[in-house]
Structure 1
Protein backbone atom coordinates (compact mmCIF):
# COMPACT_ATOMS: atom_id res chain seq x y z
CA UNK A 1 0.00 0.00 0.00
CA UNK A 2 1.30 3.45 -0.90
CA UNK A 3 1.96 6.14 1.68
CA UNK A 4 0.05 8.73 -0.32
CA UNK A 5 -2.15 8.11 -3.30
CA UNK A 6 -2.61 10.66 -6.04
CA UNK A 7 -5.66 12.86 -5.74
CA UNK A 8 -6.92 12.73 -9.33
CA UNK A 9 -9.68 10.39 -10.45
CA UNK A 10 -7.28 7.79 -11.79
CA UNK A 11 -5.07 5.57 -9.64
CA UNK A 12 -4.02 3.24 -12.44
CA UNK A 13 -2.12 3.76 -15.70
CA UNK A 14 -4.21 1.28 -17.69
CA UNK A 15 -7.43 3.03 -16.67
CA UNK A 16 -6.20 6.53 -17.39
CA UNK A 17 -4.61 5.77 -20.76
CA UNK A 18 -6.98 2.96 -21.83
CA UNK A 19 -4.07 0.61 -22.51
CA UNK A 20 -4.93 -3.06 -22.98
CA UNK A 21 -3.53 -5.55 -20.48
CA UNK A 22 -4.28 -8.57 -22.67
CA UNK A 23 -0.67 -9.38 -23.50
CA UNK A 24 0.94 -8.42 -20.21
CA UNK A 25 3.71 -10.83 -19.30
CA UNK A 26 2.71 -12.38 -15.97
CA UNK A 27 5.93 -14.06 -14.86
CA UNK A 28 6.55 -11.38 -12.26
CA UNK A 29 3.29 -12.22 -10.45
CA UNK A 30 3.64 -16.00 -10.59
CA UNK A 31 6.26 -16.64 -7.91
CA UNK A 32 5.21 -19.17 -5.30
CA UNK A 33 4.44 -18.07 -1.76
CA UNK A 34 7.92 -18.91 -0.47
CA UNK A 35 9.61 -16.87 -3.23
CA UNK A 36 7.32 -13.90 -2.62
CA UNK A 37 8.00 -13.98 1.13
CA UNK A 38 11.74 -14.33 0.55
CA UNK A 39 12.04 -11.42 -1.89
CA UNK A 40 9.86 -9.19 0.29
CA UNK A 41 11.89 -10.03 3.40
CA UNK A 42 15.08 -9.35 1.44
CA UNK A 43 13.71 -5.94 0.40
CA UNK A 44 12.73 -4.97 3.94
CA UNK A 45 15.97 -6.12 5.56
CA UNK A 46 18.21 -4.47 2.99
CA UNK A 47 16.17 -1.24 3.00
CA UNK A 48 16.36 -0.96 6.80
CA UNK A 49 20.12 -1.58 6.84
CA UNK A 50 20.71 0.81 3.95
CA UNK A 51 18.59 3.49 5.61
CA UNK A 52 20.52 3.23 8.88
CA UNK A 53 23.88 3.39 7.13
CA UNK A 54 22.86 6.31 4.89
CA UNK A 55 21.28 8.55 7.57
CA UNK A 56 24.42 10.75 7.91
CA UNK A 57 24.65 11.09 4.11
CA UNK A 58 20.97 12.03 3.87
CA UNK A 59 21.24 14.64 6.63
CA UNK A 60 24.21 16.30 4.92
CA UNK A 61 22.37 16.15 1.58
CA UNK A 62 19.29 17.86 3.03
CA UNK A 63 21.48 20.62 4.48
CA UNK A 64 23.38 21.22 1.22
CA UNK A 65 20.21 21.32 -0.88
CA UNK A 66 18.58 23.86 1.45
CA UNK A 67 21.72 26.01 1.54
CA UNK A 68 22.01 26.17 -2.25
CA UNK A 69 18.41 26.83 -3.25
CA UNK A 70 15.06 27.64 -1.63
CA UNK A 71 12.35 25.04 -1.25
CA UNK A 72 12.01 21.55 0.12
CA UNK A 73 14.95 19.16 -0.03
CA UNK A 74 12.53 16.43 -1.11
CA UNK A 75 10.71 15.92 -4.37
CA UNK A 76 7.54 13.85 -4.72
CA UNK A 77 6.47 12.59 -8.13
CA UNK A 78 3.73 10.28 -9.40
CA UNK A 79 5.12 7.10 -10.97
CA UNK A 80 3.67 3.92 -12.46
CA UNK A 81 4.14 0.79 -10.37
CA UNK A 82 3.19 -2.88 -10.34
CA UNK A 83 0.17 -3.65 -12.58
CA UNK A 84 -0.04 0.01 -13.58
CA UNK A 85 -0.94 1.29 -10.09
CA UNK A 86 0.19 4.81 -9.34
CA UNK A 87 2.25 5.71 -6.29
CA UNK A 88 4.17 8.74 -5.04
CA UNK A 89 7.92 8.28 -5.39
CA UNK A 90 10.32 10.21 -3.16
CA UNK A 91 13.64 11.73 -4.18
CA UNK A 92 16.05 14.37 -3.02
CA UNK A 93 15.45 17.47 -5.12
CA UNK A 94 18.28 17.86 -7.63
CA UNK A 95 16.75 20.61 -9.80
CA UNK A 96 15.60 24.17 -9.25
CA UNK A 97 12.05 24.61 -7.88
CA UNK A 98 10.50 25.70 -11.21
CA UNK A 99 12.34 23.13 -13.34
CA UNK A 100 9.12 21.92 -14.96
CA UNK A 101 7.17 25.17 -15.15
CA UNK A 102 6.65 24.46 -18.88
CA UNK A 103 5.50 20.89 -18.25
CA UNK A 104 7.18 17.47 -17.86
CA UNK A 105 10.54 17.20 -19.57
CA UNK A 106 12.88 14.27 -20.05
CA UNK A 107 16.18 14.94 -18.28
CA UNK A 108 19.11 15.39 -20.63
CA UNK A 109 22.88 15.43 -20.42
CA UNK A 110 24.25 18.66 -18.90
CA UNK A 111 20.70 19.75 -18.04
CA UNK A 112 20.86 23.39 -16.86
CA UNK A 113 17.89 22.80 -14.55
CA UNK A 114 20.11 20.68 -12.30
CA UNK A 115 21.67 22.47 -9.32
CA UNK A 116 25.33 22.18 -8.35
CA UNK A 117 24.44 19.91 -5.44
CA UNK A 118 22.07 18.07 -7.75
CA UNK A 119 24.88 17.16 -10.14
CA UNK A 120 26.81 15.54 -7.31
CA UNK A 121 23.93 13.59 -5.77
CA UNK A 122 22.77 12.41 -9.22
CA UNK A 123 26.25 11.20 -10.12
CA UNK A 124 26.48 9.23 -6.87
CA UNK A 125 22.78 8.19 -6.96
CA UNK A 126 22.25 9.81 -3.55
CA UNK A 127 19.09 11.50 -4.88
CA UNK A 128 17.41 8.06 -4.92
CA UNK A 129 17.97 7.28 -1.22
CA UNK A 130 14.49 8.49 -0.06
CA UNK A 131 13.03 5.68 -2.16
CA UNK A 132 14.13 3.29 0.57
CA UNK A 133 10.86 4.43 2.17
CA UNK A 134 8.97 3.34 -0.97
CA UNK A 135 10.68 -0.05 -0.68
CA UNK A 136 9.73 -0.41 2.99
CA UNK A 137 6.03 0.27 2.39
CA UNK A 138 5.90 -2.03 -0.65
CA UNK A 139 5.48 0.40 -3.55
CA UNK A 140 8.89 -0.57 -4.87
CA UNK A 141 11.39 -3.39 -4.60
CA UNK A 142 15.11 -2.99 -4.12
CA UNK A 143 15.71 -4.47 -7.58
CA UNK A 144 13.45 -4.02 -10.60
CA UNK A 145 12.73 -1.81 -13.62
CA UNK A 146 12.92 1.88 -12.76
CA UNK A 147 9.42 3.41 -12.49
CA UNK A 148 8.49 5.95 -15.14
CA UNK A 149 6.01 8.81 -15.02
CA UNK A 150 2.54 8.07 -16.51
CA UNK A 151 2.90 10.43 -19.48
CA UNK A 152 6.33 9.06 -20.40
CA UNK A 153 5.10 5.47 -19.97
CA UNK A 154 2.24 6.20 -22.40
CA UNK A 155 4.59 7.92 -24.84
CA UNK A 156 7.11 5.08 -24.81
CA UNK A 157 4.36 2.48 -25.11
CA UNK A 158 3.05 4.19 -28.25
CA UNK A 159 6.49 3.91 -29.83
CA UNK A 160 7.30 0.52 -28.28
CA UNK A 161 4.02 -1.42 -27.83
CA UNK A 162 5.48 -3.90 -25.32
CA UNK A 163 6.93 -1.22 -23.04
CA UNK A 164 4.22 -1.80 -20.40
CA UNK A 165 5.39 -5.37 -19.92
CA UNK A 166 7.79 -3.82 -17.40
CA UNK A 167 4.77 -3.28 -15.15
CA UNK A 168 4.42 -7.00 -14.47
CA UNK A 169 6.93 -6.71 -11.61
CA UNK A 170 7.47 -4.10 -8.91
CA UNK A 171 9.67 -1.18 -9.95
CA UNK A 172 13.05 -1.05 -8.28
CA UNK A 173 15.51 1.30 -6.65
CA UNK A 174 18.06 -0.04 -9.10
CA UNK A 175 17.79 -2.51 -11.96
CA UNK A 176 19.42 -4.48 -14.75
CA UNK A 177 18.96 -1.61 -17.20
CA UNK A 178 20.51 0.93 -14.80
CA UNK A 179 23.70 -1.08 -14.34
CA UNK A 180 23.99 -1.81 -18.06
CA UNK A 181 23.75 1.67 -19.51
CA UNK A 182 21.80 3.76 -17.06
CA UNK A 183 20.51 7.06 -18.42
CA UNK A 184 22.35 6.75 -21.70
CA UNK A 185 20.36 3.88 -23.24
CA UNK A 186 17.22 4.26 -25.36
CA UNK A 187 13.74 3.27 -24.10
CA UNK A 188 13.82 0.28 -26.47
CA UNK A 189 17.14 -0.97 -25.10
CA UNK A 190 15.86 -0.34 -21.58
CA UNK A 191 12.79 -2.47 -22.34
CA UNK A 192 14.94 -5.39 -23.54
CA UNK A 193 17.08 -5.24 -20.41
CA UNK A 194 14.04 -4.94 -18.13
CA UNK A 195 12.35 -7.92 -19.80
CA UNK A 196 15.53 -9.94 -19.35
CA UNK A 197 15.29 -9.22 -15.64
CA UNK A 198 11.57 -10.07 -15.49
CA UNK A 199 12.19 -13.44 -17.12
CA UNK A 200 15.34 -14.31 -15.16
CA UNK A 201 14.64 -12.76 -11.75
CA UNK A 202 16.59 -14.64 -9.07
CA UNK A 203 18.62 -14.03 -5.94
CA UNK A 204 21.83 -14.56 -7.91
CA UNK A 205 20.85 -11.91 -10.48
CA UNK A 206 19.75 -9.49 -7.72
CA UNK A 207 23.12 -9.84 -5.98
CA UNK A 208 24.91 -9.22 -9.28
CA UNK A 209 22.84 -6.05 -9.81
CA UNK A 210 23.67 -4.85 -6.28
CA UNK A 211 27.40 -5.37 -6.90
CA UNK A 212 27.20 -3.54 -10.24
CA UNK A 213 25.15 -0.74 -8.60
CA UNK A 214 27.90 -0.17 -6.04
CA UNK A 215 30.35 0.18 -8.93
CA UNK A 216 28.05 2.72 -10.61
CA UNK A 217 27.83 4.74 -7.38
CA UNK A 218 31.61 5.06 -7.17
CA UNK A 219 32.22 5.66 -10.89
CA UNK A 220 29.17 7.78 -11.72
CA UNK A 221 28.54 5.83 -14.93
CA UNK A 222 25.31 6.77 -16.69
CA UNK A 223 24.59 9.88 -14.59
CA UNK A 224 23.12 13.00 -16.12
Structure 2
Protein backbone atom coordinates (compact mmCIF):
# COMPACT_ATOMS: atom_id res chain seq x y z
CA UNK A 1 0.00 0.00 0.00
CA UNK A 2 1.28 3.45 -0.92
CA UNK A 3 0.23 6.37 1.28
CA UNK A 4 -0.29 9.79 -0.22
CA UNK A 5 1.94 12.85 0.42
CA UNK A 6 -0.57 14.35 2.86
CA UNK A 7 -0.42 11.24 5.04
CA UNK A 8 3.39 11.20 4.94
CA UNK A 9 3.44 14.87 5.97
CA UNK A 10 1.12 14.08 8.87
CA UNK A 11 3.38 11.19 9.87
CA UNK A 12 6.39 13.52 9.86
CA UNK A 13 4.52 15.87 12.19
CA UNK A 14 3.45 13.02 14.44
CA UNK A 15 7.04 11.80 14.80
CA UNK A 16 8.28 15.32 15.51
CA UNK A 17 5.55 16.04 18.08
CA UNK A 18 5.99 12.71 19.89
CA UNK A 19 7.63 13.89 23.08
CA UNK A 20 8.23 12.40 26.50
CA UNK A 21 5.65 14.21 28.64
CA UNK A 22 6.16 14.98 32.34
CA UNK A 23 3.56 17.73 32.82
CA UNK A 24 -0.07 16.54 32.73
CA UNK A 25 -3.45 17.87 33.66
CA UNK A 26 -5.40 15.63 36.05
CA UNK A 27 -8.36 15.49 33.67
CA UNK A 28 -9.46 11.86 33.03
CA UNK A 29 -9.13 10.54 29.50
CA UNK A 30 -12.34 9.81 27.57
CA UNK A 31 -13.95 6.45 28.42
CA UNK A 32 -12.67 3.64 26.24
CA UNK A 33 -9.67 5.54 24.88
CA UNK A 34 -7.08 3.49 26.77
CA UNK A 35 -8.59 0.29 25.32
CA UNK A 36 -8.41 1.82 21.84
CA UNK A 37 -4.76 2.78 22.32
CA UNK A 38 -3.81 -0.66 23.62
CA UNK A 39 -5.57 -2.26 20.65
CA UNK A 40 -3.33 -0.16 18.42
CA UNK A 41 -0.21 -0.91 20.46
CA UNK A 42 -0.48 -4.64 19.81
CA UNK A 43 -0.22 -4.01 16.07
CA UNK A 44 3.53 -3.76 16.72
CA UNK A 45 5.85 -6.39 15.25
CA UNK A 46 7.27 -9.08 17.50
CA UNK A 47 9.95 -11.73 17.13
CA UNK A 48 8.44 -14.99 15.92
CA UNK A 49 5.00 -13.40 16.38
CA UNK A 50 5.49 -14.12 20.09
CA UNK A 51 3.59 -10.99 21.19
CA UNK A 52 5.25 -11.04 24.65
CA UNK A 53 3.86 -7.68 25.82
CA UNK A 54 1.74 -7.66 28.96
CA UNK A 55 -0.02 -4.40 29.89
CA UNK A 56 -1.04 -3.77 33.51
CA UNK A 57 -3.30 -0.76 34.04
CA UNK A 58 -2.53 0.47 37.56
CA UNK A 59 -5.66 2.04 39.02
CA UNK A 60 -5.53 1.23 42.75
CA UNK A 61 -4.59 4.44 44.64
CA UNK A 62 -2.39 2.59 47.13
CA UNK A 63 -0.42 0.90 44.37
CA UNK A 64 0.00 4.15 42.47
CA UNK A 65 1.24 5.86 45.64
CA UNK A 66 3.72 3.05 46.24
CA UNK A 67 5.08 3.33 42.70
CA UNK A 68 5.41 7.11 43.07
CA UNK A 69 7.33 6.64 46.33
CA UNK A 70 9.62 4.11 44.63
CA UNK A 71 10.24 6.52 41.75
CA UNK A 72 11.03 9.38 44.13
CA UNK A 73 13.47 7.19 46.07
CA UNK A 74 15.20 6.06 42.86
CA UNK A 75 15.37 9.67 41.69
CA UNK A 76 17.04 10.80 44.91
CA UNK A 77 19.55 7.97 44.65
CA UNK A 78 20.29 8.75 40.99
CA UNK A 79 21.16 12.35 41.89
CA UNK A 80 24.08 11.09 43.97
CA UNK A 81 26.00 9.79 40.94
CA UNK A 82 26.88 13.39 40.03
CA UNK A 83 29.99 14.48 41.91
CA UNK A 84 29.77 18.07 40.70
CA UNK A 85 27.33 19.99 42.91
CA UNK A 86 26.22 22.22 40.03
CA UNK A 87 25.36 19.21 37.89
CA UNK A 88 23.66 17.52 40.83
CA UNK A 89 21.56 20.62 41.42
CA UNK A 90 20.68 20.75 37.71
CA UNK A 91 19.56 17.14 37.88
CA UNK A 92 17.41 17.73 40.94
CA UNK A 93 15.75 20.69 39.22
CA UNK A 94 14.47 18.46 36.42
CA UNK A 95 10.95 17.06 36.54
CA UNK A 96 11.48 13.44 35.55
CA UNK A 97 7.99 12.04 35.88
CA UNK A 98 4.36 13.09 35.92
CA UNK A 99 3.08 10.17 37.97
CA UNK A 100 1.25 12.33 40.49
CA UNK A 101 -0.78 14.24 37.93
CA UNK A 102 -1.26 11.74 35.10
CA UNK A 103 -4.68 10.08 35.18
CA UNK A 104 -3.35 6.80 33.77
CA UNK A 105 -0.51 4.51 34.82
CA UNK A 106 0.38 1.49 32.68
CA UNK A 107 3.16 -0.97 33.51
CA UNK A 108 4.42 -2.85 30.46
CA UNK A 109 6.06 -6.22 30.98
CA UNK A 110 7.75 -8.79 28.77
CA UNK A 111 6.58 -12.35 29.39
CA UNK A 112 9.89 -14.14 29.00
CA UNK A 113 8.31 -17.55 29.58
CA UNK A 114 5.78 -17.23 26.76
CA UNK A 115 5.36 -20.29 24.58
CA UNK A 116 3.86 -18.17 21.81
CA UNK A 117 6.13 -17.92 18.82
CA UNK A 118 7.62 -21.35 19.63
CA UNK A 119 11.06 -19.81 20.14
CA UNK A 120 11.32 -18.67 16.52
CA UNK A 121 13.94 -16.00 15.84
CA UNK A 122 15.24 -15.60 19.38
CA UNK A 123 17.61 -18.48 19.89
CA UNK A 124 20.70 -16.38 19.21
CA UNK A 125 19.20 -13.09 20.38
CA UNK A 126 16.75 -13.82 23.23
CA UNK A 127 16.66 -10.09 24.03
CA UNK A 128 14.48 -9.63 20.95
CA UNK A 129 11.51 -10.53 23.15
CA UNK A 130 12.13 -7.32 25.12
CA UNK A 131 12.80 -5.41 21.92
CA UNK A 132 9.33 -6.48 20.75
CA UNK A 133 7.82 -4.95 23.87
CA UNK A 134 9.74 -1.72 23.22
CA UNK A 135 8.18 -1.60 19.75
CA UNK A 136 4.72 -2.01 21.29
CA UNK A 137 5.44 0.88 23.65
CA UNK A 138 6.57 3.07 20.77
CA UNK A 139 3.45 2.15 18.80
CA UNK A 140 1.34 3.06 21.83
CA UNK A 141 3.26 6.34 22.12
CA UNK A 142 2.49 7.35 18.54
CA UNK A 143 -1.14 6.24 18.80
CA UNK A 144 -1.55 8.28 22.00
CA UNK A 145 -0.02 11.37 20.41
CA UNK A 146 -2.36 11.03 17.42
CA UNK A 147 -5.26 11.29 19.91
CA UNK A 148 -3.74 14.31 21.64
CA UNK A 149 -2.63 12.20 24.61
CA UNK A 150 0.80 12.64 26.14
CA UNK A 151 2.92 9.72 27.33
CA UNK A 152 5.85 9.70 29.71
CA UNK A 153 8.19 6.72 30.04
CA UNK A 154 9.34 6.58 33.66
CA UNK A 155 12.71 4.84 33.85
CA UNK A 156 13.62 5.89 37.40
CA UNK A 157 11.92 2.94 39.07
CA UNK A 158 13.36 -0.33 40.32
CA UNK A 159 11.89 -3.07 38.06
CA UNK A 160 12.04 -5.64 40.86
CA UNK A 161 10.15 -3.34 43.22
CA UNK A 162 7.39 -2.68 40.68
CA UNK A 163 7.14 -6.39 39.90
CA UNK A 164 6.64 -7.14 43.59
CA UNK A 165 4.12 -4.34 44.07
CA UNK A 166 1.97 -5.43 41.15
CA UNK A 167 2.25 -9.14 42.01
CA UNK A 168 2.80 -10.24 38.43
CA UNK A 169 4.30 -13.63 37.48
CA UNK A 170 8.06 -13.92 38.13
CA UNK A 171 8.78 -14.49 34.44
CA UNK A 172 7.41 -11.04 33.59
CA UNK A 173 10.19 -8.47 33.21
CA UNK A 174 9.31 -4.77 33.49
CA UNK A 175 10.24 -2.92 30.31
CA UNK A 176 8.42 0.37 30.88
CA UNK A 177 6.28 2.15 33.42
CA UNK A 178 4.18 4.71 31.59
CA UNK A 179 2.02 7.65 32.59
CA UNK A 180 -0.57 9.01 30.17
CA UNK A 181 -2.85 12.01 30.13
CA UNK A 182 -3.51 15.38 28.58
CA UNK A 183 -0.30 17.43 28.32
CA UNK A 184 -0.24 20.81 30.04
CA UNK A 185 1.44 22.14 26.89
CA UNK A 186 2.71 20.86 23.57
CA UNK A 187 6.34 21.29 22.58
CA UNK A 188 8.25 19.95 19.60
CA UNK A 189 11.60 20.35 21.38
CA UNK A 190 12.38 17.74 24.07
CA UNK A 191 12.17 19.10 27.60
CA UNK A 192 15.74 18.03 28.42
CA UNK A 193 16.87 20.09 25.45
CA UNK A 194 14.80 23.09 26.55
CA UNK A 195 16.21 22.82 30.08
CA UNK A 196 19.80 22.73 28.82
CA UNK A 197 20.53 19.16 29.92
CA UNK A 198 21.09 17.51 26.52
CA UNK A 199 20.35 18.66 22.98
CA UNK A 200 19.17 16.32 20.25
CA UNK A 201 22.04 14.91 18.23
CA UNK A 202 22.19 15.73 14.54
CA UNK A 203 22.00 13.00 11.90
CA UNK A 204 25.75 13.14 11.26
CA UNK A 205 26.44 12.03 14.83
CA UNK A 206 24.47 8.81 14.50
CA UNK A 207 25.05 7.57 10.93
CA UNK A 208 28.02 5.52 9.78
CA UNK A 209 29.10 3.75 6.61
CA UNK A 210 31.39 0.74 6.53
Q: Same fold (TM over 0.5)?
A: no
User: TM-score range with shorter-chain normalisation?
Assistant: under 0.3
TM-score by length of 2: 0.27
Of Structure 1 and Structure 2, the greater strand share is in 2
Structure with more relative contact order (C-alpha pairs < 8 Å, separation 6 or more): 2
Larger Rg: 2
Say which structure is richer in helix. Answer: 1
